[in-house]
Amino acid sequence: MGIRDQRKAETSRKIQAAALDLVEELGLEATTVARIAQRVGISSRTFFRYFDSKESAIVPGQGELVNALTDLEIAHGTSASHIFQSLLQVCREHFSTEIEQHEFRRVSRLMLADPKLLLIATQREQELVVELTQSLTARELVTPMQASLTSEVVASTWRVAWQCFTQAEKAGTSAVPSEFFEQAVKELMQISSAGPSDS
């Protein structure tokens, strides 16, 4: 990572930290883009170079995940199964990084205290589903139904791993983030491999 990228990443972290500080101090409603920018010492215009809303500053990792998923290069003719596995790999790579770089534990604590933050995370997840579905459909990589199913399952796997990690943290269990994602994928594969005769 070059100096410019390091500075950009550092400013992004400062913006998120300021957003979380303000939510803790003032609550979600009173936290504004102007207040976040003032806390960091930047203009509101500069804020919008990094995040498109205060909500995306509070829960930023999903925006980066959306970009990584929709930017993934996939060759035409790739099977739907392989596309799904490739998308899960992108999630796998981002899961631990998000927790390490985006004050995940703090966000989790705030979500437990303010259900509105959970709604924000849910809305961001739906944005992920819509954008990934549109990307897969527009590139004609899979059928529209496969695009929807793939996007929903990718997002659900991410969310379940995230929630299980949060619950383990809350319970005081020593938790390794990547293990929760791997377990979620493993459980998903066990469920999806069950045929009609297994029911």
Same domain, 109 and 149: yes
Report the pLDDT value the prediction gives residue 160, as an integer from 0 to 100. 87
Report the pLDDT value the prediction gives residue 101, as an integer from 0 to 100. 58
Whether residue 198 lies inside any domain: the answer is no
Structure tokens at 7: 């500075």
Last residue of a domain, one of 58, 77, 107: 58
Gap between the terminal Cα atoms of the chain: 50
CATH assignment of the domain containing 1? 1.10.10.60
**Chain position carrying tokens 């590139």:** 139
CATH assignment of the domain containing 69? 1.10.357.10
Domain residues for 34?
Answer: 1-58
Same domain, 129 and 86: yes
pLDDT tens digits in sequence order for the chain, 199 residues long: 578 878 888 898 899 899 999 998 998 899 999 999 999 999 999 999 998 888 888 876 667 788 889 999 999 999 999 999 999 999 888 876 766 655 666 777 777 777 787 787 788 888 889 999 999 999 999 999 999 999 999 999 988 887 887 778 778 776 677 788 899 999 998 988 755 554 4
Report the pLDDT value the prediction gives residue 64, as an integer from 0 to 100. 75
**Own/partner long-range contacts of 170-179 (Cβ < 8 Å, ≥24 apart):** 170/108, 170/112, 177/95, 177/96, 177/99, 177/100, 177/104, 178/92, 178/95, 178/96
Report the pLDDT value the prediction gives residue 199, as an integer from 0 to 100. 45
Full-model pTM: 0.74
Q: Domain count of the chain?
A: 2
Whether residue 199 lies inside any domain: the answer is no
Same domain, 113 and 33: no
Cα gap 62→127, rounded to integer Å: 9
Structure tokens at 198: 């297994």
Same domain, 103 and 188: yes
Report the pLDDT value the prediction gives residue 195, as an integer from 0 to 100. 55
